[in-house]
Structure 1
Amino acid sequence: MKRVWWLAALAAAYGAVPLLLGADNYIMSLIVAAMVIGCVALSWALLGNLGGMVSFGHSAFFGVGAYVSAIVTVKLGVPVLAGLALGGIGALLASVVMLPVLRLRGPYFALAILAYAHIFRILATEWTSLTGGSGGIANIPGLPTILGYDMSGKTGAYLTILTIVLAFALAYRAIRASHYGTALRAMHDSEDATRVVGVNSTLLKGLMLMVSAFMAGVAGAFNAHYINFLEPDYAFNGLWVTLPIVAAIFGGYRTIAGPVVGALVVYLLDQLVFKTLIPTGHQLVLGGLLVAMIIFSPTGLLALLRRKDHA
């Protein structure tokens, strides 16, 4: 029965949403933005749930992925789809530079990753010959035409980011179900105990950091080709950290679907409801909603809905 529900949800996502909302560019643009946030939220949740690490610096991976893809497509003429993959690889390589901070734990690790995000933003600003500096990179190629369908439009962009998120969700599921996932979950209970039985906790954490970085980098690369412009303050903006964290916690970061569902609910509520009711300071309502969710359902929205179904 559960599989039937998921198949129905996928059918609705790929069929009903474009059919019913495809003509409304504003709504589709909000959904695409929410899916980008959901992709970063999924990568953040993977690192937190499997890696046991809280990151405040995912904007580093998002920004690096965006810049790598923009540079190779604009200056080297690399096809956009290859640029998306190279953006993810660029973010992965950026995470390799961060591996020494794996020795840190808790807030110290989170703050160290945040510091790296600031370093990459400064590099993007100062390395003007490559990145264009504060002036940014304009005329970034849009998404290509695939099988005769222009993916650069709102509906095409939605289908592209939906496919990316689905692929990452399936990868997350496969990792969690593997023996690596079992070892990572065991580390949460006692990292020292898992080391005694031969589990290399540092290596596993490093792998989760790299996978998470790749996912966030692809999201950043997609976003660069979606908006066709990039500059440092946007690419490395703190919102690419705070919104995904809020979305992941709201939806349920220990589930696979929770971060994506949370991003859709949180972002669309904020833009369509709260912003209309309270044009200034509407994010305060969002903060209050998150606090209420943490109090009444610390495990997130999906867990709350499941409890109501069983009640």
Structure 2
Amino acid sequence: MPRVWFITGCSSGFGREIAIAAAKNNDTVVATSRDASKLADLLPLGITPKALDITGGDAEIKAIVDDVESTVGPIDVLVNNAGYILEGAVEECSDEEILTHFDVNVFSQIRLLRAILPSMRARKSGVIANIGSIAGWSGHPAAGFYCASKAAVAMYTEALRAELAPLNIDVTCIEPGYFRTNFLSMSGGHKVTASNRIPDLHAGTQANRDALVAYSGYQPGDPAKGARVIVEALTKSGRCEGRTVPARLALGRDAVEFIGACLEREREMLDSWKEIIASTDCDDVLNT
């Protein structure tokens, strides 16, 4: 029986490719975007476009989810994909810019979960994939709040996974490396630059800003190939048949290398500091 997918951020990039890959898997796909007209070319693939403002309130989002479930069917797979990069040093970013960034990258996912999970819990079935990033493993200059938002997604996803495991609902955080989408481009709202610039901070941030610009259009990952892996992983089919979806699923050769380097860095720190770190236990613990 075809699954029903509900995917956010489908006007471009990974969201669009995941929608196409799921449709090619003979599943039923509801693709969402703030502007549904940007999804019109997906109609010939049998994909249902839906206007969705992910920053809307709980009542607004629940009404859209209820409409989908009454007209299309119960949602089997939720892919929380929508997000963007806030480029700016930590000190440069305003409260409004940071709150808006987390509202889109983190809080919008949770609002959708609150709307969709009651049906999944009632059926004791479902799959949730929150799109994180390798950026959630390490903070980078001029992208600190993007990294923080993706780390937040990974952490709450791990908790959610444990909470829903007894109900037979799979949960994972997918962490792509750099894929050749328009995500690093200033066009389309995928990368937003903080309005404040502090000259003193240029020495610590400019190299990373320049690297992101230079990398745009030259990322190593193929989003169509990545989307096919995501569909296979979430449906446990093809190359992923018989596998258990992990709590955090890396995507891309560069993700394997980057996350591996982060783990090695932390292991080196623990090994070199362990005696000092462990010396903080209470005396009755130290003496046992």
**What's the TM-score once normalised by structure 2's chain length?**
0.26
Normalised to the residue count of structure 1, the TM-score between the two structures is 0.25
Whose strand proportion is higher, 1 or 2?
A: 2
The structure whose RCO (Cα within 8 Å, separation 6+) is larger is 1
More helix by share: 1
